[in-house]
Structure 1
């Protein structure tokens, strides 16, 4: 590389003069002479060495000579290095100087051999950092400059199309099914099989299943054909978590709300029955009457209900809590509470520890179908946060607790039948399915196949698809089948495995009217008996008062006789006063007073005969 100016160098030659002088020594083309382009640099290097030697000789101590140089002499080596670093002159290749590390500081000429000859491509000035480029370079087959080392290419590990597109197909199919089912149920919302199944709660189930299915679109990204820019990856990470989380809460929460309310209503009904039985045993009017009569007559009074069969039948026909309408607000409150927990956890997570893109690198491997000097580095793009294990543990712990508790409630309420939740049995089966699938899949995905993209996506997608399809099928399948097969005019009670009759046929309606009339008749008879009981109580109280008056008179008479005896100094044996209390006729059908029924096991003459008191 020659100096670009025509100024004379330290040798009194310009760069062109040096090149002409050197060319005259060769008998052949200089392009074929090895090292010819570097000759000016070598010439200036010799000058730099000579100047460094002169500087070293002049700066050495008097007792040390340059001719005594050896590689073990540190004084000469340090002096020579310092002189080379301070060397600066104009050479035939340009300005000659050296860096602190001993490298030449000069303009660099960039050349390329084209057609067997070197051609200048440009210059680079290391002192100023300027690059002068002529754009004359040529590359083999137009592929660009050859690599100076092994090329390492990153390969993003994405979900394969064989898994992604079938999953998307079934997801779209499931979302369309949810939309069609919603339209179908809205069209037939007046049918009792829909009306008495809490359709508002079932609509929340459809929304949750649709969100879960839609989340599979995002969980499968990036795929082989779909890439995601790094700037959008944090948004994708948060969208995956929130959509799947809210979808699960809506879908499972709606079913959990049903079994919870069924369980609470069943517990309330049991408490009311126990309280009613206790009140009937302790506060029955017959117990008080029997105690009063036993006190009066000195004998145990046995009581027998001749109308017990009719009374028991009446109790069985009462309108229980399980058959009362249920406000949709109760279901909304439960689902809203579960959703509020998810919103709080997601908000805190995103606020203090947001998700971001991380790359997990795997060992390099050589591609089998490539002839280039390159290797492939598999890279797994993941959504990660600093304390992700803590957040995943909180969410999974809460959801697993709900799954286990929901399974327990479903088992506890398996025999309860509510008229206005006529699909609770199928809801329980759906909860069993969701609990088993989720509790099995979650540990596998989290712990075992976390780094395997296709296997991870396959487990998640299969779990979501199976749970949503089975849940929607169990909840809506029997209803759709009933609506299709049974016309509205013949809409009768369905034995759907959970509730009894939801709507009565003409025969049942007639039977119901007869029972209602019989209940009214029995109610009147009970009121009449209560009136007679009240009269009996009044008569007993009057007799009690008369008895007490007679006792007092007897005591007064006894006192008078005693006084007279003392006055007359005469004595007699004790006199026993016997007071006879007439037997009270308490038979409500008008039997003659004083009659005693010895046999209390006689059959009743009718189901509405009065109760008898046996003395």
Structure 2
């Protein structure tokens, strides 16, 4: 500005100073420079629609590869076909080229899990047929055969969960996974523990001889548990429904030799309220397991084998708690969805299979021995008669006397019978009336 003969300098510039503004524009009109398209000046009346020749050095010589046509479009390049040659025949990238790769469960693993789940359902159907065919057998009947049928229904739902986990997820499948597992677990262990509750009530109640607990009362307990779980699941789906989401596995990302960045991804089912409602269900199911453990412990001294499943329930509890702890912990720590699928499905199949086999194999064995002519022991017969009479509230004095005589012959096999008399306050009469 000093050379232009103006007394002001740039450090005196303000946006309200029109003198400096006019001076800057005057200087720009006198500016001339050499650009890509030739000589460039900032003045009115110039022609910006020029053809710009684009050249590139190839094989040691300048070669025209395109024309920049401003007369057609400000962004239009007219490329000469075959003129541009890249090293190695590949166009270099100005940024990372990302490719997404979906990870799926290996066919061999999914086929193995589906096969075991199908075999588990077949096993449940076999036990169900056995329960129906031998429902009038004293050993099967005393173990609450109707409730056992409900237990098998829960086992089938648990096996169906494996099928839902294998199918490619969508919104409906995601909801089916949660519903089938929650209901299957609740029905299975609700049925198992309701039977033990009946034994507990009969052998700890002071009015033992007048107590009658029917199957419909046990059905009511199971239905109540199912309703509680259903309410939680329904509220969960209304507030934060399970939906299919794409999860990118950033830790498994890798780059190929040509510079392509491959990002593995998996399709998962997720809900925005998984932590709240998920842990709510865990607490409910955990309380169910705890209550079942309490009942199993309280009825551990009941010596009627056909009636009492406390020892076998203890085995089921140990099995389920260990497998649940392993499956839940690994599913929270691991990020490999394929590995999580294999572990959770395996734990579900093993836990369900062991539960129904522990409950039903002894009954099949007992029935098999009866068919072969090996009847139940005297103590089991005594226990059967005692329980049947208690449940129907018609324990006659002559039957008590007969049972008492048998107990004297087998005191070591029925140590709890005398305790029952003491709790109820009724001793067998000396003579029948």
TM-score, normalised relative to structure 2? 0.68
* Residue of structure 2 in register with 1:464 after alignment: 348
Q: Deviations over 1:387-435 (max 9, x none)?
A: 2211111111111121122112211111135688344442343234323
Report 1:65-464 matches (<5 A): 69=31, 96=70, 105=74, 107-113=76-82, 150-221=96-167, 228=168, 233-268=170-205, 271-272=206-207, 320=209, 326-361=213-248, 362-363=250-251, 365-366=253-254, 371-417=257-303, 421-438=307-324, 440-441=325-326, 443-449=328-334, 451-464=335-348
Q: Residue 334 of structure 1: CA displacement?
A: 0.9
CA RMSD of aligned residues (A): 4.2
* Aligned 1:490-501 pairs, distance under 5 A: 491-493=375-377, 501=383
For residues 117-175 of structure 1, what are the alpha-carbon distances to aligned partners after superposition, in whole Å with 9 as ceiling and x for unaligned? 99xxxxxxxxxxxxxxxxxxxxx99xx99977543221233333453322222111111
Contact 1:430 1:471 in 2 (8 A): yes
**What is the CA deviation profile of residues 467-491 of structure 1, one whole-angstrom value per residue up to 9, with x for unaligned ones?**
2122111111011112222128765
Whichever of the two has the greater Rg, that structure is 1
Provide, for residues 90-121 of structure 1, a one-character-per-residue CA deviation record: whole Å limited to 9, x for no partner.
667998469xxxxx6265435421xx699xxx
Q: Which runs of 5+ in 1 are unaligned?
A: 1-58, 72-78, 99-103, 119-139, 222-227, 274-319, 505-514, 521-606, 609-615
2:401, 2:147 → 1: CA distance? 36
**Cα distance in structure 2, aligned partners of 1:63 and 1:378:** 57
Q: How many residues align?
A: 352
State the match for 1:582 in structure 2. none
Q: Distance in 1 between matches of 2:378 and 2:239?
A: 53
Contact 1:258–1:421, Cα closer than 8 Å, also in 2? no
Q: 2-side partners of 1:365 and 1:62: how far apart?
A: 54
Counterpart in 1 of 2:364?
A: 480
| 8 A Cα contact 1:363 1:378, kept in partner | no
SS at match of 1:360: strand
Q: What CA distance in whole angstroms lies between the structure 2 residues aligned with 1:172 and 1:87?
A: 82
8 Å Cα contact 2:32-2:41 kept in structure 1: no
Alignment-derived partner of residue 554 in structure 1: none
Distance, in Å, in 1 between the alignment partners of 2:141 and 2:378 is 13
CA distance change for structure 1 residues 398 and 67 in 2, over 3 Å: closer, same or farther?
closer
3-state SS of paired residue (1:486)? helix
Describe the SS at the equivalent of 2:81: strand
Listed one character per residue, the Cα deviations across residues 455-478 of structure 1 (whole Å, up to 9, x for unaligned) are 322332232122212211111101
Name the structure 1 match of 2:17: none
Match of 1:516 in 2: 398
Note closer, same or farther for the CA distance 1:482–1:342 as it changes in structure 2 (3 Å cut): same
Cα–Cα, structure 1 residues 432 and 65, in superposed 2: closer, same or farther, change >3 Å? closer
- CA contact 2:103–2:266 (8 Å) conserved in 1: yes
Cα distance, 1:337 vs structure 2: 0.6
CA distance in 2, matches of 1:494, 1:246: 40
Distance of aligned partners of 1:69 and 1:266 in 2 relative to their CA distance in 1, 3 Å threshold = same
Matched residue of 1:502: which SS?
Answer: helix
Report if the CA contact (8 A) 1:206-1:251 is conserved: yes
Contact in 2 for aligned 1:354/1:385 (Cα 8 Å): yes
For residues 168-213 of structure 1, the C-alpha deviation after alignment (integer angstroms, 9 at most, x for no partner) is 2211111111111211221222211111111111111111111111
Give the secondary structure class of the aligned counterpart of 1:152: strand
1:581: which partner in 2?
Answer: none
Do the aligned partners of residues 379 and 419 (structure 1) sit closer, same or farther apart at CA in structure 2, a change above 3 Å counting? Answer: closer
Is the partner of 2:384 in helix, strand or coil? Answer: coil
Residues 188 and 105 of structure 1, relative CA distance in 2, 3 Å threshold: same
Evaluate the alpha carbon distance shift between residue 424 and residue 192 of structure 1 in structure 2; reply closer, same or farther with a 3 A threshold.
farther
Deviation string, structure 1 residues 204-241 (Cα, Å, up to 9, x no partner): 111111111121122244xxxxxx3xxx6222211111
Structure 2 unaligned blocks of 5 or more? 1-20, 34-39, 53-67, 387-396, 403-428
CA distance in 2, matches of 1:179, 1:474: 16
Q: 1:365 to 1:503 in 2, by over 3 A?
A: same
